[in-house]
Every structure is written in C-alpha cells, then in structure tokens.
Chains A and B, each alone.
Chain A
Amino acid sequence: MKNDIVYMKIPQNIEIQHQKVLLSDLAKLVGVDKRKVNNIGNIEVFNIKSKKDCKYIFSVMKIIEFINKSNPEIEIVNLGEKDFVVEYKIPTKTKVMFEYIKSFFVALIIFFGAAFTIMTFNTDVSVDKVFAIVYELVMGEAKKGGTILEISYSIGLPIGIIIFFNHFSRLKVRDDPTPIQIEMRLYEDDLNNALIQDASREGTTIDAD
C-alpha cells in the first residue's frame, strides 16, 4: 500500500519556457517506487499554443485527474498549492540593454523622488526652526548658519537609511532580506492570488471536469 503513495508539491508560480509542459516541470514528486514517480513525472499536462507570453491558472484537481487516468492505483498526497499560475515566457535573448535602460529610468525616479521626499519633509516640519531651538537650548546662544547639529543630522540620515535597508551596494550589514525585497515577495504573492481568484470567478481556471 505504502508503495502507491506519491507526495506532490507544486509552487504557486512556475515559469515555463517550452510549449510541452510535463508534470515534472511543475511539481516535485516523491514516492517509494521510483519508476512510478518517473512515470507520473512524464505525464503531459498541457500543450501551450500561445505565440506570446501568457499566464494560465491551474487547479491541482486537473493534475490529480491526469494521474488517476494513467496510474489509477496511485494515491496522491498534495502538499503544495491548490491553485497555481503557469507563466509561459517565450525564450528570447533578453534584451539586456533595454533592461538596463529601464532600470536606469526607475533609478532616476527613485533617486529624485527620495531627494524630493526628504526635502519636502524637512521643509514641512521646519527642521531648520527646530534646529535653531535645539541649538539655543543647548549652547545658550542663537545659531548662525550651519553648525555641528546639521552636520550630525546629515550623517545620521544616511546611517538610518542604511540600517533600515540593511545594506549599501554590495556591502551587506546582515544576511536577512531587505524590507523592499520582502515587500516584493508580498506583492508577488498578492498578484498570484489575484490572478487565481480572477480566473476562478471568470471560470477560466484549468480544472478537472
């Protein structure tokens, strides 16, 4: 009996670059009987006809249906997602130059945006007035022009940002992912969930009959 159990794990998002999709492209399969596991892995799940990049939403039920049809004796234990996104990307030479231009463009927005944000913040909360008060309280005399206070603030700010993001350039402070990397993953999860729910609402999920 135990020989017939196959454990299957499918991630939420799979990128495929060829048209014939085998189960082993999508899922990680583990079982006692290696021959059977290989058999199941070679099941053709889908044949992508699209000529351009596109996304398909699958239900794991469809996969189980396929396996039941070809190997009825096998018991599948699904340890992965119930629904998952198959992303078909036509294998092209990635236009490296174009990607760098896009990155440069985004970098410009972020650079000037960050500068603008901190400038509006400093003006909005009147940092200069606050500094004048603090200087007078500490030194007992009115502030004239730039002082050690402004220097410290200007040093503290980049230190704070680097502590916050946990790195500067290749210089990593710690091995944890940075806050933006975490946000990126959360965003991708949200995106997949939205795709899956949209497909199920519109009935375009590739599901068991």
Chain B
Amino acid sequence: MLIKYSLLVFIGLSGGITIAGAVFTFITKIGLVTRLASRTNTARHILFFEDCVTLGGTVGNLMTIWRFEVPFGIIGITVFGLFAGMFTGCLAMALTEVLDTIPIFAKRINLRKGIPFAVLSLAIGKGIGSFIQLYIFAK
C-alpha cells in the first residue's frame, strides 16, 4: 500500500513540476509579462510580477483540481472575466506577433498605412467573436 501511495505521490509531483515548466515557459517565451511591464514602465517590479504568475497558477490549479468554492459573487466573476480576458487578449496578440502574422500579411498585400486600423479590427473582431460564441450560442 505504501509503495502504491509513494508511486502516486511521485507521479503527481513530477507531473505537476513538468506541467508547470511547460505552461509557464510558454507564457514567458511569448514575452507577455515583459510586454506588459514595458508598456506600463514598471520593469522594476518584474520579480513581483513573477510572484503573481506563481500565485495565480497555483490558485487556478487548486480551483480546477479541487473545485473548492470561491464565493465572491458577481464582483468576483466580473473581475476574473475582465482580467483573464485581457490576459488572453495579450496572449493571442503575442502569439500572432511571434508568428509574424501581421508583418507577413502587410507585406503580401502591400499594406503600408492603416496598420493601426488592422490591429483595431483584429481586437474588435476577437471581442465580437468571443461574445457570439460564448454568450449568444451558450444560451
């Protein structure tokens, strides 16, 4: 029994450590935290931001694995949705940027001016798209 339990502990621990490595390499490499820190001129607090990644990752993990209740009501849901949405938006854009989607398209169709509009349309499109998919279709 003890061997079985130790095996479970071993699998759980190493699984957790590896997943952490994978998921958070992704967040770091995509340059999301650096971008946010650079845009807001708060690069001094970067260690604090890294702590926030650690805390957020841990809390989110506990919530999905253990499904414990976080009774903050409508305000909690709004705050979570808003900030998680901003993060996902940054993540999606960082991804397009790493893959050079916009520069390649701009070059192919010879787009010189109006790239800000392209970005704005992208943002609005993503917003409307998620709203239709998650809010209207979910009903």
Q: Identify which of residues 147-205 in chain A touch chain B, using a CB-to-CB cut-off of 8 Å.
A: 147-165, 167-169, 178-181, 183-184, 187-188, 191
B52/A111 in contact, CB under 8 A: yes
B66/A147 in contact, CB under 8 A: no
Contact-residue size bin, chain B (C-beta under 8 Å from the other chain)? 35 or more
Segment touching B, from A42-50, A68-76, A116-124: A116-124
Complexed CA–CA distance, A24 and B11 (Å):
59
Q: A134-B11, A152-B8, A157-B61 are in contact. Are A99 and B41 (CB under 8 A)?
A: yes
A148/B27 in contact, CB under 8 A: no
A146/B66 in contact, CB under 8 A: yes
The residue that B20 contacts in the complex, of A107, A109, A123, A157, with Cβ under 8 A, is A157
A112/B83 in contact, CB under 8 A: yes
SS class, residues of chain A in contact with chain B: helix
| Chain B residues in 8 Å Cβ range of A162 | 54
Quick check: is B130 within 8 A (CB to CB) of the other chain? Answer: no
B11/A106 in contact, CB under 8 A: no
| Chain B residues in 8 Å Cβ range of A99 | 41-42
A156/B17 in contact, CB under 8 A: yes
SS class, residues of chain B in contact with chain A: helix
Complexed CA–CA distance, A157 and B12 (Å):
9
Quick check: is B37 within 8 A (CB to CB) of the other chain? Answer: yes
A159/B16 in contact, CB under 8 A: yes
| Chain A residues in 8 Å Cβ range of B32 | 113
Quick check: is A77 within 8 A (CB to CB) of the other chain? Answer: no
Among A102, A114, A117, the one with the most B-chain Cβ atoms within 10 Å of its Cβ is: A114
Q: A115-139 toward B: CB 8 Å interface, digit per residue (1/0)? A: 1111101110001100000110011
Contact-residue size bin, chain A (C-beta under 8 Å from the other chain)? 35 or more
The smallest beta-carbon distance between B106 and chain A, in angstroms, is 15
Q: B26-47 toward A: CB 8 Å interface, digit per residue (1/0)? A: 0111011111111011110111
Q: A152-B8, A161-B24 are in contact. Are A178 and B47 (CB under 8 A)?
A: yes
Complexed CA–CA distance, A116 and B57 (Å):
8
| Chain A residues in 8 Å Cβ range of B17 | 156-157, 159-160, 163
B40/A183 in contact, CB under 8 A: no
The residue that A121 contacts in the complex, of B4, B19, B31, B88, with Cβ under 8 A, is B19
| Chain A residues in 8 Å Cβ range of B28 | 164, 179-180, 183
| Chain B residues in 8 Å Cβ range of A119 | 60-61, 63-64
A152/B9 in contact, CB under 8 A: yes
Q: B90-116 toward A: CB 8 Å interface, digit per residue (1/0)? A: 110000000000000000000000000
Interface residues of B (CB under 8 A from A): 4-5, 7-21, 23-25, 27-29, 31-38, 40-43, 45-66, 79-80, 83-84, 86-88, 90-91
> 27 A-B pairs, CB-CB below 8 angstroms?
A106-B37, A106-B45, A107-B45, A111-B83, A112-B56, A115-B56, A115-B63, A115-B84, A117-B57, A117-B91, A118-B56, A118-B61, A121-B23, A127-B64, A139-B4, A146-B66, A153-B13, A154-B65, A156-B20, A160-B18, A161-B20, A164-B20, A167-B50, A168-B54, A184-B34, A187-B34, A187-B38
- The 4 A-B residue pairs with the shortest CB-CB distance in the complex, in nearest-first order: A156-B16, A113-B87, A152-B12, A160-B20
